[in-house]
Structure 1
Amino acid sequence: MYTVMNRIPVPAAGAVAFEERFAASMRETLPGVPGLVTARLLRPQHAGGAYAAVMDFTSRDAFMAWMGSPAFRAAHGPSTGGTGGDVETFETVASVGA
């Protein structure tokens, strides 16, 4: 599994609108993306924390294909209200499911 995490700072005053726009964009652009296992938007639990958008792909190749796709361009068009972000990528070493 290949995981991509994007930390997105959002001003507190814009948090509700950001969540609504980001979630709507996810629902609109992510269904059917080849190799996408799951995508989540995580809300920070302390003041001043950044949101985290986490996406799990079957492989790095699937992620790279999504980066070049119309779905990626649609999802990253007009701003959803964040103030930039910090993208990190990971490869799964171990996983335990319920």
Structure 2
Amino acid sequence: MYTVMNRIAVPAVGAAAFEERFAASMRATLPGVDGLVGSRLLRPRQEGGVYVAVMDFADEQAFAAWMRSESFRAAHAHGPSEDGGSADGAGGGVETFETVVSVGA
């Protein structure tokens, strides 16, 4: 499995609106993406923490194909919002990982 994480700083005042926009974008652009195992948005528990968008792909090739897809362009069509967050996760720190061990569902 190939995992991509995007860290997104969002001011507390705009958190609720950011979550709504990000969730709507995920629901609109991710269904049917070949090789996408799952995607989730993690809310920080600590004040001043950052959101983390996590996407799991079958492999690096599936991720690369998504990056070239219309789905990717649609998800990233919007720039930063007034609250400083981004509905598409742009502008965060993107990290990639390969699964070494996975237990459970």
Q: TM-score normalised to the size of structure 2?
A: 0.90
Q: Specify the alignment match of 2:48 in structure 1.
A: 48
Identity %: 71
Q: Secondary structure at the match of 1:37?
A: strand
CA distance in 1, matches of 2:103, 2:6: 23
Q: Secondary structure at the match of 1:23?
A: helix
Which consecutive unaligned segments of at least 5 residues does structure 1 have? none
CA distance in 1, matches of 2:43, 2:55: 15
CA distance in 1, matches of 2:71, 2:43: 23
CA distance in 1, matches of 2:102, 2:39: 17
User: Is residue 35 of structure 1 aligned with residue 35 of structure 2?
Assistant: yes
User: Is residue 77 of structure 1 aligned with residue 84 of structure 2?
Assistant: no
TM superposition shift of 1:80: 5.8
Which consecutive unaligned segments of at least 5 residues does structure 2 have? none
Q: Specify the alignment match of 1:86 in structure 2.
A: 93
CA distance in 2, matches of 1:95, 1:80: 34
Q: TM-score normalised to the size of structure 1?
A: 0.96
CA contact (8 A) 1:18 1:80 kept: no
RMSD: 1.2
